Structures are given as structure tokens and as C-alpha cells.
A and B are shown apart, each in its own frame.
Chain A
């Protein structure tokens, strides 16, 4: 399995390729002056997302909620740019409250969030909501989607589920009572006190 350094190297290479391509394709969008900036913004967001995911602790100075909000924001940026104007852009929202979790738990929750969101989008979800709440003994992550993609046992998600279980956490998949959405509800204990942040409820739309 490649090391983290290899991942970072790949991400850096992709970034260089994107910059070169940006110079080459600029003439293709002369009829739509806003198209190129949007695509470049989306591409940059994609690379930011990739670069963040290959690092074990990409933003050591900000809270877990802020990290999740930032990463979901990158995904939303890409969606906004890549969805044709005649189609509805999938809407991702994040509501993050203060949590107290250890470094390993924070990393698990971050990776799980991104994978669940991507699984939902891959299933054609139009609405996805991520909620991060505190519990008396740790943190609670809920990802809700209007498509059942998050409930499918992808290998990567199964591995994360096993790791969360190994940390003493729980993972539940629930169908909403009104039948229009599916939820993955994850509780994870505070293994070590790493961060205590008090964040306002945030909503990225």
C-alpha cells in the first residue's frame, strides 16, 4: 500500500497537470467567460479535497466540525461547477456542534463523512445532510441522504465501520420513519481529549 508521502506526491502531480491544462483549455471557453473560472475553481476544490484526504491530520489547528464543513464545501463546489444548468445541483448541508474526541476518532469521523457523502452522490442523491453533535461520552455523526447509497456496504465503508467498532463506537443504518431518507448514525467515544470547540450551527448551501 502506498505511503502517505506517495499520496501527497500524486496529489501534487495532479495539481501541476491541472494548472497546465488550465492554460491549454482557456481558448475552449471563450463563448462562456464564466465557465472557465468555475471549472478551475472546481478543479482546485477537488485537489484540495484529495490533498486533505491523503494526510493524516490536514488541518491540525481547526476543529473537526470545521474540517468536515471545509471538505464538504469542496465537494459542493465541484458539484456546482459540474452539474449542467438544466439539472438540480445536489444540496449538501453541514451542521456541526462542539465535540470532544481523540485524534484517531476525529480522523475516522472525517473519512467516514466524506465516504458516506460520496456514496450518496454516487447513488444519485439530491439531498445530503451531515450533522456532528456532542454526546456525554464522545461525538455523534449522522449522515442523512435521500438515496440509500449510504446504506450499501462498500468495502471502504466496511473497513471504517470495523475501525469505529474497534474504537468502541457504534454504527447504525436507519431508514427514516417517513421513508424519504436513510441515515447512518455513528457514535464514537472520546478516547483522548483533543479539542473542545464551540461552533455555531453552520449550513453550507
Chain B
């Protein structure tokens, strides 16, 4: 899968994450028009999604937005037609393959996924406490 990555200065590790998982990632400066036919999906990783809404409205391919500002990002739903999935960085980092696949599979509407709940750690903590008692 070819992924176009738009990331702000606080999210430069995301292209490396994609490459490590076997994706071919092309990094573009924010606001750069998407080259025709050169990618399957857009990954936008920004800390302030509302500030990026002007150029994001021009994106044409399915878009995954990774941001910690989930509340403001939801205002983009009808303003960025290509936006398919908004995801918190903690969840996207842990399940990037699934997030990219879901972004491709959603053809109508938009999905918002919040932070990853650390169920495993919680279970271990409670399990340990139970075992200690």
C-alpha cells in the first residue's frame, strides 16, 4: 500500500513507523497537492487539525487523520470530504495496519477512535493485586 504522509514537526517519526511495517511512504510538506495516482491513502498527522483544514479540503483519496485533538478534529467531518477515520495517536501507533485498512474500507461517513485503553496493564495490575491478597 502506498501512503502519502503529511506530518507536522511533532510527528516526524510516523514515516519511519510506516516504513518499518513494510509500507511505501512518501512524505510531502503540508499543503502540497496530491500527485495523481501515486498513492492509495493519505495519512495526516498533526497536532492542530483545524489549522490544516484549508488544504486538507483538497485531498481526494481516503484520509486517515491522526491527532490528539479529537474534539476539534470532528468539526472537519463534513468539511474534508475525503476524511474517513480520525484516530488518537496512541491507538494509531498500536494498530496502524488496522487503521489504514479501515480507512480504505470506509466508503461513506467518518469514524472517530479515541485513545487506546491500556487493558492489558490494567488487568495485570489488578491481577497482581488479587494474587498478592
Contacts and interface: CB of A to CB of B under 8 A. Distances in A.
A31 B56 CA distance: 39
Size bracket of the A interface: 10 to 19
B23 interface: no
A interface secondary structure, majority: loop
A178 B33 CA distance: 6
Contacts of B50: 91, 93, 129, 203, 205
A43 interface: no
B54 A146 contact: yes
Nearest to A181: B54
A178 B31 contact: yes
A117 to B, nearest CB: 15
Interface in B13-64: 31-33, 48, 50-51, 53-55, 57-58
A127 B54 contact: yes
A121 to B, nearest CB: 15
Contacts of B55: 176, 178, 180-181
A205 B54 contact: no
A127 B31 contact: no
A126 interface: yes
Nearest to B56: A180
Size bracket of the B interface: 10 to 19
Interface string A177-188: 111110000000
B63 to A, nearest CB: 15
A203 B72 contact: yes
Contacts of A146: 54, 57
Interface in A172-205: 176-181, 203, 205
A88 B57 CA distance: 14
Contacts of B78: 88
A146 B48 CA distance: 18
Interface string A81-101: 000000010010101000000
Interface of B: 31-33, 48, 50-51, 53-55, 57-58, 72, 75, 78-79
Interface of A: 88, 91, 93, 95, 126-127, 129, 144, 146, 176-181, 203, 205
Given A129-B50, A176-B54, 4 more contacts: A178-B54, A180-B54, A180-B58, A205-B72
